[in-house]
Amino acid sequence: MSSSGLVQIDGLSPIKKEDRKTSKVMLLFPPEWVPTAPYLALPSLTAVLREAGHTVVQRDINIEMYDHFFTMEFLIWVKARLGMQLKPLQDKEKAGTLTDRETDQKAVIEQAYAVDVFDLAERAEDAKLVVRGERFYEAETLELALNTFREAMQYISAAYYPASLVFYPMESNLGYRPGVSKEVFACLDDEQVNVYRDICNQLVLPSVSKEKPDVVGISIGTQMQLLAGMTFCKMIKETFPHIKVVVGGNVITRLQEELPHHERFFTDVFDAAILYEGEHALLWYIEALNGQRALESVPNLMYRHADGVKQSKEVYTEKTAALPLPDFDGLPLDHYFVPERIIPYLATRGCYWGRCTFCDHGQGYFDQYRGMTAQHVIEQVTALRDKYQCKHFLFSDESYPPALFKKVSQLLVEQNTGIKWTTLIRFEETLQDQAVWDLAAKAGCCTLYYGMESANERVLNLMDKHAKKSVIQNNLHQASKAGIWNHVMAFYGFPGETKDEALETRQFVIDNQPVIHSVELFYFVAYRHTPMVRNPEKFGITIHKQEEYDLPLDYYYTLNEPSTLSCLDAMQMCEEFYKNDFQPWAVRVNSREHVFLYISKFGTNKLPQIYAKQQVAVGAAEGVSGLVTWPVSQSEGEDGMSRVTSHDVG
C-alpha cells in the first residue's frame, strides 16, 4: 500500500470471449508534440482494445493539424479570418474608440493581411514535400522548408492575436496558464485565441460524427497538450453528449490530487480520467460501461459519482512482457515530417536508476522499474520492422539500462536486424569499454541523449546521480569515436550549487565540444513530485505555493542559503550561454529525429553541413538568429505518459 492509500492489484478476471460486448472507441492524440513520429500511447492502447475485440479508430490530431496548417485551403481560410477581424478594428479607429491593445492587434493583422497568401501556401505545401522526400537530406533546402513553416505559423498567429503559435512545436503560447484552473476553463471557450477550437471543428468533430464511437479517449501526455486536449474533450461532450469522453496520460496522473477539487472537469469537460498506466484500465472501463463490470471495481479510474468525484483505491500495473505488440494501423505513417518512417518502441517502464532527487518521472508509474528480456525486444522490433516496413526506431525508455544496451546491441548484430535506432542513456562506469560503443554503432545506434546535469561531482552527488567526471568524459569520447552522435543535457542552479560549480559545467561542455555534437542547457525547475519538493528542508529550499496555481506541476522556490546560485542567477547564466557560447552547436535542422536520419543516411557523426556557419570562436559568439536550439528532452512511456523535462535522463 502506498502512502496515498492506494493498493496495487494483479488485475481483474477477463470476460469470456463468448460473453464479450464490443464497443467502438476513438482514440485521439492532441497537439502539441513533435510532428516527426507517432506517439506510443495510442498504438499501445489500441493493441489491447483490438485484442479484446473492440473496434478502434486512432487519430493523431497533432500531425493532422500541422499537415492542415500548411495547405492552401487553410491559409486562405486564415486570410478570410484576418479580414473579418480587421474591418471592425478599422471602424473603431475611425470612431476614435480603439484601445491600446486593439491598436497593437490591428498593426499585427494589417502586416499579416499584406502577405501574399498564395505564395506562402505554395511554399508551405512544397516545404512538406521537402521534409517527406529526398530533398530533406540537402541541409540548405531543409532549412528553407523549416523557415517556411515558421513563417506560416507567424501568419496563422496573427489571426489568433495575441496567441503565439510557433514551429518548433511545444513552444506555442495562447496567453493562458495551464497551471491555473480558471484560465484553463476560460481558454476552452475563447474563440479569439484558442486555435484548437477551430482544429476541433475542422478535423475532430467531423470525424466523430462520421465514426459514431461509443467512447472517445484522449491522451494528454504533456502540459503543453492540456489546453488542446481539454478543448477537444469539452467540444465533443457538448456536441455528442451521449458519447463517453475519458482522458489519460502523464499530466492527468500528476494532477490526480487536484482534479477532484474541480468537479467542473467531470461535468463539463470529460466523464472519467484514467491514472497511471492505461491499457487494461481503459479496457475494463469500457467493459463497465457495457454493464460487464462494476464501475467502482475498475482500477486506475477517477470518475464522477452522485456523491462527487471518486477515485479507485486500486492500481493496476501492466505486465510489460504480456502486452501485445503496439498497433499503429490507422495512423498516417507517411504523413509525418520525415522522409523515412520512424517508430517508437519501449522495452522498459520506469527508470532502472530511479534515484535522482530532481526527477519526477516516476510519478507516472505506480510500481518500480520493469523491463523485457533482450530477446523479446529483438522479436518485437523485428515484427514492427516487418509489419510497417520501417527500419528507424526511437527507443523511448526513460534511460536505457546498461546490461540491456549491451545485450540488445549484440543480438541486433547477431541476427542482422538491419535497423537504426536512438535512445536516452546514463553515463555509466560499466560502459567504459570501447568495444561496447563500437558494437552499439554496428547494431545501428546513431544518436544518444545523456542527462549529464552537471560536470561537478559534488553537485552530482547532491543529485544522487553519482556519476564521475572521468566516466562522463570517457563515455563521450568512446561513443563519438564509434560514430555515435552525442547530445548532452545539463542545467544550472541545482540547490546548493555555487556559481563556480555551474561554470565548471559550462567549461566542461566547451572543452569537450568536439565529442559533444549537440547540447541543451537549462535551469533547475522544482517539479512538484520530486524528492526535493517533498523534502525541501533537506535540500535547503523553501517552496512557495501560490493559491491561484491550483493545477501546479512545479513550484517557485527560494534558497535558504543565499550564498549559492539562485533561480534567477541560473536563468541568467543559461541565457548567457545561449548568447555567448552556443553558436558552435547551432544546427539548421529542426529536431532530434531529423539529426537521427541525417546520421543514418550519411553514416557518420561528422555532419558539418547541418551546422550554422561559425564566424567567431567558442565562448565569444553572438546569438544566432533564426536557428534552432534543441527542444526539451523528450521520452514517452508505452502507457502514453510523456516525459518532457528540461534536463534529465535518470
Q: What domains appear along the chain, each with residue ranges and CATH number?
A: 23-312 (no CATH), 340-645 (3.80.30.20)
What letter does residue 367 receive in the DSSP assignment? Answer: S
Pairing of strands 633-636, 554-559: unpaired
Q: What is the CA radius of gyration of the chain?
A: 25
CA distance 469 to 508: 9
pLDDT exceeds 80 at position 648: no
Three-state SS at 636: strand
Other C-beta atoms within 10 Å of 433: how many? 12
Rounded to 5 degrees, what angle do the CA atoms 251, 489, 620 make? 130
All three cell numbers of 365, joined, read: 508509474
Quote the CA–CA distance of 178 and 592 in Å, as a whole number.
26
Among candidates 425, 416, 499, which has minimal Cα distance to 467?
A: 425
Distance CA 497, CA 495 (A): 6
**Is residue 506 within 8 Å of residue 581, measured between CB atoms?**
yes
For 504, the grid coordinates are: 565548471
CA 459, 461, 466, 469 dihedral sign is positive
Q: For residue 11, what pLDDT is reported?
A: 72
Mean pLDDT of 304-329: 93
Residue-wise pLDDT for 21-44, tens only, equals: 999 999 999 999 999 999 999 999
Residue with cell 526506431: 393
Picking from 167, 227, 217, 220, the residue whose alpha carbon sits closest to that of residue 194 is: 227
- Could you tell me the pLDDT band of residue 618, with boundaries at 50, 70 and 90? very low
- Residue ranges in 266-361 assigned as alpha helix (H): 279-289
pLDDT at 621: 36
Confidence of residue 6 (pLDDT cuts 50, 70, 90): low
- Across the range 548-572, mean pLDDT stands at 90
Neighbour tally for 145: CB within 10 Å: 24
* Contact yes or no for 594/338 (Cβ under 8 A): yes
User: How far is it, in rounded angstroms, from Cα 512 to Cα 518?
Assistant: 11
Give percent of the chain above pLDDT 90. 82
> What is the signed CA dihedral for 583, 584, 590, 595, rounded to 10 degrees?
-170
Whether residue 288 contacts residue 294, with contact meaning beta carbons closer than 8 Å, is answered with yes
Residue 16 and residue 110: Cα distance in Å, rounded? 64
- Checking if the pLDDT of 86 tops 80, the result is yes
Q: Name the percent of the chain in helix, strand, coil, to the closest 5.
A: 45, 15, 40
Query: What mean pLDDT do residues 287-316 have?
Result: 94
Q: How confident is the model at residue 645 (pLDDT cuts 50, 70, 90)?
A: very low
pLDDT for the residue 630:
41
The β-bridge relationship of strands 485-492 and 518-523 is parallel
pLDDT at 562 > cutoff 90: no
Which of 376-385, 431-440, 606-615 comes out lowest in average pLDDT? 606-615
pLDDT for the residue 365 = 63
Query: Which residue type does 560 have?
Result: N
Q: Which residues are 293's β-sheet partners?
A: none
pLDDT recorded at residue 363: 65
Q: Which of 411-415, 464-468, 528-532 has the highest mean pLDDT?
A: 411-415
* Average pLDDT of span 82-101: 96
**pLDDT for residue 636 is more than 50:** no
- Number of H helices and E strands in the chain, helices first, is 22, 22
Report the distance separating Cα 68 and Cα 64, nearest Å.
6
Burial class of residue 258 in the structure, from the number of CB atoms within 10 Å of its CB (0-12 exposed, 13-18 middle, 19+ buried) = middle
Nearest one of 215, 224, 110 to 159, comparing CA atoms: 110
Q: Does 641 have pLDDT greater than 90?
A: no
Question: Cell match 520512424: residue?
Answer: 342
Cell numbers representing residue 252 in the block: 492527468
Q: Tens of pLDDT along 454-488? A: 999 999 999 999 899 999 999 999 999 999 999 99
| 478 or 360: which leads in pLDDT | 478
| Of 67, 29, 493, the residue nearest 224 (C-alpha) | 29
Select the more confidently predicted residue: 631 or 582. 582
- Read off the pTM: 0.92
What percentage of residues in the chain have a pLDDT greater than 70? Answer: 92
Distance CA 338, CA 390 (A): 12
Residue tagged 500500500 (cell numbers)? 1
Looking at every residue in the chain, the average pLDDT score rounds to 91
- Distance (Å, rounded) from C-alpha 455 to C-alpha 489? 11
Cell of 199: 482544429
C-alpha cell read off for 44: 499501445
